[in-house]
Amino acid sequence: MHPKIAISRRLRSTPWTSRLQQQGVKGFTVYNHMLLPTEFESVEADYWHLCEHVQVWDVGAERQVEIIGPDASKLVQWMTPRDITKTVVGQCVYLPLADENGKLINDPVGLKLDDQHWWLSVADSDVWLWAKGLATGAKLDVTICEPEVWPLAVQGPKAETLMARVFGDAVKDIRFFRFAKLDYQGHAFIVARSGWSKQGGFEVYVDDATQGQALYDDLFAQGEDLNVGPGCPNLIERLESGLLSYGNDMDFSHSPLESGLGGFLHLDADLDSLSMAALRRERDAGPTKKIVGLVVPAPYGELPIAERPFSSRHDDDCNFIGSQVWSPRYKHQLASAMISSDLLVDDTITIDMLDGSQVEARITSIPFDFAALDIEAAD
């Protein structure tokens, strides 16, 4: 018997949880105290389907932290070392959030809904508590809540065709990381061109459970000939694509610089941001750790790597292996790892395997550059 995960008020379901069960969901994880599906047919079958067709994902666990008021932008800027002064209404922006020590609090997608109205679509940590604490302490003029909004993602190469059938051709005009309010059966939904895959697609921010259920059913009805299927963020696809998962690849003990997110920051700008001083110091001294990709070729690749397995040439070279998966396309085991900055790309590092053996993993960049690695796709 499989162990059961008990669904309660603390471990929240979404408007689509019962539908997922009817559709044969095989696994859930817990994300923001909510159910997030991880697997339908199998992670590998789901992967090929996502890369070839279109999937509808219940990502209701990506909660919104709503910040409204005259000081809304001030608070968002205080939380992120990325410059948001030029972000316009209708824009999505990837926002590493960092604390006064320059450590990551979360890495949400921010949506600027209006000049005094933001949503932070958060990864798995309680950002609304952090935001309320900051706002209360600094006596900012904002109200903060977690509204009843559940993102629904439509991802895959046929996503635009399906979305155009359901929402009309207006979806085609939405640029990457922009959103528009589109009508569906008399209800205006926020629709963004975004999502946690590199296969292309959209996210609908569903703010009405009943309408969201009708929308879900309609996406499946209208997508039948497109081979639409239920899906979820896919471990293989997102690791191949270099999309980082807060809590897995990096967490509150790492800075955005160590996490490879430096390119999103504006450390030389004159911004009133909590983490600015600490991050400038870290940049000037040079971060001691860095996130990298690891590749292990077959025949060792398909062996499971132990959970916290790192043994390397120097004991303190490595912090941990974050995510890992066998890539059926590139025929290598892929992993993310947080390692000492002293190690170089193309060095190798020794990894302990679950069975007690050891393998040499090649250190590389993340996102992976398979062409530079001379690893060919087997598709």
Give the pair of three-digit tokens for residue 299: 């025949």
| CA 179/CA 204 separation, integer angstroms | 9
Residue of 15, 195, 230, 231 that binds ligand THG (CB under 6 A): 195
Q: Which of 51, 56, 123, 261 binds ligand THG (CB under 6 A)?
A: 123
Give 80 or 121: the residue with its C-beta nearer to ligand THG. 121
Residue 237 makes contact with ligand THG by CB under 6 A: no
Regarding 364 and contact with ligand THG (CB under 6 A), the answer is no
81-89, 117-125, 321-329, 338-346 -> range binding ligand THG (CB under 6 A): 117-125
The sign of the CA dihedral 258, 261, 266, 271 is: negative
> Minimum distance between the CB of residue 9 and ligand THG, rounded to whole angstroms?
22
Q: How many residues bind ligand THG (CB under 6 A)?
A: 15
- Comparing CB distances to ligand THG, the nearer of 71 and 203 is 203
Q: Cβ of residue 58: shortest distance to ligand THG, in angstroms? A: 13
User: Which residue lies nearer to ligand THG by CB, 211 or 241?
Assistant: 241
The residue among 96 and 301 lying less far from ligand THG, judged by its C-beta, is 96
What is the smallest separation between the CB atom of 192 and ligand THG, expressed in angstroms? 7
Rounded to the nearest 10 degrees, the angle between the axes of helix 209-222 and helix 159-167 is 120
Other CB atoms within a 10 A radius of the CB of residue 183 amount to 11
Q: Show the DSSP H helices in 241-363 as ranges.
A: 276-285
CB 171 within 8 A of CB 182: yes
Residue choice 62, 66, 71, 240 for contact with ligand THG (CB under 6 A): 62
Question: 337 near 320, Cβ under 8 Å?
Answer: yes
First-last CA distance in the chain:
36
Residues 197-216 that bind ligand THG (CB under 6 A): 203
Burial (0-12, 13-18, 19+ Cβ within 10 Å), 248: middle
Q: Does 81 bind ligand THG (CB under 6 A)?
A: no
Q: Under the criterion CB under 6 A, does residue 39 sit at the interface with ligand THG? A: no
Should residue 230 be labelled a site residue for ligand THG when binding is judged by CB under 6 A?
A: no
CB-side exposure of 143: number of CA atoms within 13 Å? 3
Query: Helix crossing, 127-137 with 72-79: angle to 10°?
Result: 120
Instruction: Note whether 83 binds ligand THG by CB under 6 A.
Output: no
What is the distance between the alpha carbons of residues 318 and 332, in angstroms, rounded to a whole number?
21
Rounded CA-CA distance 136/253 in Å is 25
**Site residues (CB under 6 A) for ligand THG, limited to 163-192:** 177
**Helix (H) or strand (E) run with residue 105 in it:** strand 104-106
Write out the binding residues for ligand THG, residues 127-156 only, by CB under 6 A.
151
240 binds ligand THG (CB under 6 A): no
Q: Which residues bind ligand THG (CB under 6 A)?
A: 62, 94, 107-109, 121-123, 151, 177, 194-196, 203, 243
